[in-house]
């Protein structure tokens, strides 16, 4: 049977045994060779991903139900090991799930739930940070690779605090500081504020990540338990779009009303009339010079990475200079073109701007509903932002839980009929200045709380010029022929802080909106009576 | 309040002194013609953004009313070293502010003072929210 001599057999057997032993690791090595890698040799996880399977509905084996497919569970061992009293609470959650699921109220999903929602997300990678931006309501996670603990007392955050490290080719993330208000799925699986999550992201090949999360919560479970979900690269998706959960809900139920003058027209409706063609700018502001001693990235571009605070002089309460008016703070005025600091409004838009400042219009400001601030307002709301420069992109993460992704590959803007709160941004370097061109805005945003106006015709060109280490001169030129007679430019300095982002759970904590609605409703009732 | 927190308060007073900042939702919700001065015991402190809320029981002629007081953002407090547990129930506060237009037991706070005269923080939606 054996073509080999007896002498040779032990050696052959040993080789065969060794080969069998090594088979799995050889296969792994082969995979490891094919994994895309970053310059520092880590697996390159950058790209757009989405979970496969039905974990979003129920982490455990589940039968089909209204709006939910049947599916196989993802919990190792099959069942989540609840403490007896907690198992009863889970049953109650399940019974009330149609109304009790926090996700149904558009509250942030927490970790790990955000990772297996039925929406794509994008991973960005630098040696110091990993950012994950989610299509679902512009939520993001910032994972710190610094090895340091959080700078501040993080407790009861919806998305917690994430500290990451590499173990070989696996990214391991410790998530702490979450509140007790999120669920794991639509079936009512839940946890307490004592939850600690350890995530493991292991790339299996260039297009698959094995995502594992181990949940530890002695107040809810008898022992730690683990889920395992495959994440699949979305090769046909070129950019994340938006799903603004709460904004869509309020538009559908009438709480947030369409303004036909500024919003992108519905199919079949008449668009707003454009004003006179925007005149050319005369006497444009002097060009800003970049600093001489800037920190630079490996590819020689200015390194702007860090947490920044804008010195906006009250731009969120008015772009033009004005004194303190009742309870509106004074503003410095950030308009540098036109030179007199006034916005070149068309008459109808100036009248609208004045009207928006009245108390009953407060409810109409999208940010009072905690919707995304848009462009350029995101840059000067009174909350910090994190700038990241992963390969091929500049990414802006705003503490008020929203993001902007700026690709530097020179791609064309998305089709005109696709309209977004944050628009479609494409960037390029002009010397040391990052120039960002943004179109496809939906016209729903206000420029600040007093209601400076923009429409869906808004086209923004931003210039980020680093003038010194940790200092950026930010300019935005807005062209909007529905609202203005000519383009205008604002200028705001941004300065880097030795700080880390916190979380603003604006919608989840929104206590003001009902009061603003009451003021609006009282006004409308009064108007009706007078008629 | 513990000693550690008091130093935090002093820093805060320096940073936020004289800032009665608000925005048009303030104009909509609160009435500048209805200034209120309240003394009461903390029942709850809710850390949230862009406003935190302090709830105090105020006794007037034997009747106790729980007031909701709108203050600055949680993140501004966290960045100054505050913890959620730093204003325990029972702490006595004196509060100046403006009452809600609808006349409910709700107010926007301009100053919060402890019984020994030390001030807590002030202001509603703070424009610059300095981080350092």
- On whether residue B129 sits in a domain, the answer given is no
Q: Mapped to the 3 state alphabet, what secondary structure does A227-243 carry?
A: EEEEEEECCCCCCCCCE
Which residues of chain A are within 8 Å of residue B100 when distances are taken between CB atoms?
Answer: 515
In the three-class reduction of DSSP (H, G, I as helix; E, B as strand; rest coil), residue A214 is classed as: strand
Per-residue pLDDT at A278: 54
Nearest by CB: B49 against A329, A361, A506? A506
Count of other CB atoms within 10 angstroms of residue A334: 26
Distance CA A114, CA B4 (A): 37
Tell the residue number behind the tokens 């496969």, with chain if given.
A52
B84 touches chain A (CB under 8 A): yes
Distance CA A151, CA A497 (A): 12
Per-residue pLDDT at B3: 35
A506 touches chain B (CB under 8 A): yes
Helices (H), ranges, A96-244: 97-100
Q: Phi first, then psi: what are they for A55, rounded to 5°? A: -60, -30
The DSSP symbol for B57 reads E
The minimum CA-CA distance between A475 and chain B, rounded to whole Å, is: 19
Tell the residue number behind the tokens 């970790």, with chain if given.
A111
Per-residue pLDDT at A279: 54
Residue A376: closest CA among A479, A281, A261, A481: A479
Residue A485: closest CA among A356, A365, A344: A344
- On whether residue B124 sits in a domain, the answer given is no
Cis peptide before A449 (omega within 30 of 0): no
Which sign does the torsion angle of CA A213, A216, A219, A221 carry? positive
Nearest by CB: A317 against B23, B73, B131? B23
B101-110 mean pLDDT: 88
Distance CA A390, CA A76 (A): 34
A309 touches chain B (CB under 8 A): yes
Distance CA A29, CA A339 (A): 63
Q: How many CB pairs under 8 A join A and B?
A: 114
DSSP string, A46-97: -EEEEE-SSTTT-SS-B--BTTB--B---BTTSS--B-HHHHHHHHHHHHTH
Q: Which residues contact A236 (CB under 8 A, 6 or more apart)?
A: none
Residue A90: closest CA among A14, A20, A190, A165: A190
What are residue A462's DSSP bridge partners?
A436, A476
The DSSP symbol for A350 reads H
Per-residue pLDDT at A326: 62
Q: Is A225:A75 a contact under the CB 8 Å cutoff?
A: yes
The minimum CA-CA distance between A305 and chain B, rounded to whole Å, is: 17
Per-block mean pLDDT, blocks of 10 residues, chain A (531 long): 43 50 48 83 97 96 88 96 98 97 98 98 97 98 96 92 98 97 98 98 97 98 98 95 97 95 87 61 76 92 97 94 78 96 97 92 93 97 96 97 97 95 98 97 96 97 97 97 96 97 92 85 93 82
- On whether residue B132 sits in a domain, the answer given is no
Per-residue pLDDT at A287: 87
- On whether residue B37 sits in a domain, the answer given is yes
Give the residue numbers spanning the domain of B96.
3-114
Q: What is the pTM assigned to this prediction? A: 0.88
- On whether residue B107 sits in a domain, the answer given is yes
What are residue A468's DSSP bridge partners?
A471
Predicted confidence band at B129 (pLDDT cuts at 50, 70, 90)? Answer: very low
Distance CA A105, CA B81 (A): 31
Q: Is A188:A175 a contact under the CB 8 Å cutoff?
A: no
- On whether residue B69 sits in a domain, the answer given is yes
The DSSP symbol for A330 reads P
Question: For strand A306-310 and strand A488-497, is the pairing parallel, antiparallel, or unpaired?
Answer: antiparallel
Angle formed at CA A423 by CA A417 and CA A425, multiple of 5 degrees: 115
Structural domains of chain A, ranges and CATH numbers in brackets: 47-233 (no CATH), 293-518 (2.40.128.20)
Question: For strand A47-51 and strand A225-233, is the pairing parallel, antiparallel, or unpaired?
Answer: antiparallel
Per-residue pLDDT at A482: 96
Q: Which residues contact B125 (CB under 8 A, 6 or more apart)?
A: A382, B21, B22, B23, B26, B50, B51, B72, B73
The CATH number of residue B9's host domain is 2.40.50.140
Q: Do B23 and A327 touch (CB under 8 A)?
A: yes
Distance CA A251, CA A369 (A): 11
Residue A199: closest CA among A124, A140, A143, A118: A143
Residue A38: closest CA among A137, A130, A139, A147: A130
- On whether residue B123 sits in a domain, the answer given is no
Question: For strand A208-216 and strand A402-407, is the pairing parallel, antiparallel, or unpaired?
Answer: unpaired
- On whether residue B59 sits in a domain, the answer given is yes
Angle formed at CA A439 by CA A435 and CA A445, multiple of 5 degrees: 110
Q: Would the ipTM clear 0.85, i.e. be above it? A: no
Number of domains in chain B: 1
Nearest by CB: B24 against A153, A311, A449? A449
Residue B95 has pLDDT above 80, yes or no: yes
Q: Is A402:A381 a contact under the CB 8 Å cutoff?
A: no
């Amino acid at each position: 049977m054996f073509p080999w001599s007896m002498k040779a057999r032990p050696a052959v057997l040993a080789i065969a045994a060794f080969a069998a032993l090594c088979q799995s690791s050889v296969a792994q090595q082969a995979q490891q060779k094919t994994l895309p890698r970053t310059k520092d040799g880590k697996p390159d996880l950058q790209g757009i991903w989405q979970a496969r399977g039905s974990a979003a509905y129920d982490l455990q084996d589940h039968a089909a139900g209204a709006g939910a497919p049947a599916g196989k569970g993802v919990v190792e061992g099959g069942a989540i090991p609840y403490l007896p009293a907690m198992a009863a609470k889970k049953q109650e959650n399940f019974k009330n799930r149609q109304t009790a699921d926090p996700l149904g109220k558009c509250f942030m999903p927490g970790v790990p739930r955000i990772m297996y929602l039925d929406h794509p997300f994008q991973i960005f990678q630098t040696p110091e940070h990993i950012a994950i931006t989610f299509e679902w309501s512009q939520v993001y996670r910032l994972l710190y690779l610094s090895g340091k603990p959080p700078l501040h007392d993080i407790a009861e955050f919806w998305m917690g605090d994430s500290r990451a490290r590499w173990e070989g080719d696996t990214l391991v993330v410790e998530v702490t500081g979450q509140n007790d208000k999120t669920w794991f799925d639509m079936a009512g699986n839940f946890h307490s504020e004592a939850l600690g999550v350890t995530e493991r992201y292991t790339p299996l090949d260039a297009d698959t990540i094995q995502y594992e999360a181990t949940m530890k919560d002695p107040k809810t479970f008898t022992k730690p338990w683990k889920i395992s979900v495959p994440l699949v690269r979305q090769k046909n998706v070129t950019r994340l779009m938006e799903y603004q959960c709460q904004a869509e809900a309020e538009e559908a139920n009438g709480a947030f009303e369409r303004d036909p003058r500024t919003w992108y027209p519905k199919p079949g409706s008449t668009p707003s009339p454009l004003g006179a063609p925007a005149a050319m700018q005369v006497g444009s502001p002097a060009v800003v010079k970049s600093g001489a001693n800037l920190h630079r990235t490996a590819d020689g571009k200015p390194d702007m990475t860090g947490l920044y605070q804008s010195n906006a002089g009250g731009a969120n309460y008015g772009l033009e200079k004005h004194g303190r008016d009742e309870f509106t703070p004074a503003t410095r005025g950030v308009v540098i073109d036109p030179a007199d600091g006034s916005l070149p409004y068309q008459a109808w838009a100036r009248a609208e701007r004045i009207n928006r400042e009245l108390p009953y219009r407060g409810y109409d400001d999208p940010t009072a509903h905690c919707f995304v601030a848009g462009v350029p307002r995101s840059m000067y709301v009174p909350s910090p932002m994190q700038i990241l420069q992963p390969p091929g992109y500049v990414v802006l993460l705003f503490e008020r839980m929203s993001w902007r992704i700026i690709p530097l590959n020179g791609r064309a803007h998305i089709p005109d009929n696709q309209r977004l709160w944050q628009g479609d941004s494409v960037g390029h370097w002009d010397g040391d200045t990052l120039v960002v061109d943004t179109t496809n805005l939906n016209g729903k945003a206000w420029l600040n709380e007093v209601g400076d106006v923009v429409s869906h015709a808004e086209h923004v060109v931003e210039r980020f010029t680093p003038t010194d280490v940790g200092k950026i001169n930010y300019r935005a030129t807005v062209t909007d022929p529905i609202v203005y007679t000519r383009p205008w430019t604002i200028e705001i300095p941004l300065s880097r802080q030795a700080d880390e982002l916190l979380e603003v759970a604006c919608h989840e904590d929104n206590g003001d909106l009902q009061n603003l609605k009451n003021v609006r409703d009282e006004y409308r009732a009064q108007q009706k009576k007078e008629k | 309040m513990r000693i550690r927190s008091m130093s935090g308060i002093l820093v805060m007073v320096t940073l936020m002194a004289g800032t009665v900042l608000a925005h048009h939702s303030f104009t909509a919700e609160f009435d500048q013609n209805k200034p209120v001065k309240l003394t009461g015991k903390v029942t709850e402190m809710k850390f949230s953004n862009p406003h935190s809320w302090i709830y105090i029981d105020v006794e007037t002629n034997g009747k106790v009313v729980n007031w909701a007081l709108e203050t600055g953002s949680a993140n501004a407090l966290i960045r100054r070293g505050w913890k959620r547990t730093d204003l325990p129930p029972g702490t006595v506060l004196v509060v100046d502010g403006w009452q809600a237009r609808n006349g409910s037991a709700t107010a926007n706070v301009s100053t919060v003072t402890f019984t020994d005269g030390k001030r807590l923080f002030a202001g509603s939606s703070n424009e610059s929210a300095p981080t350092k």
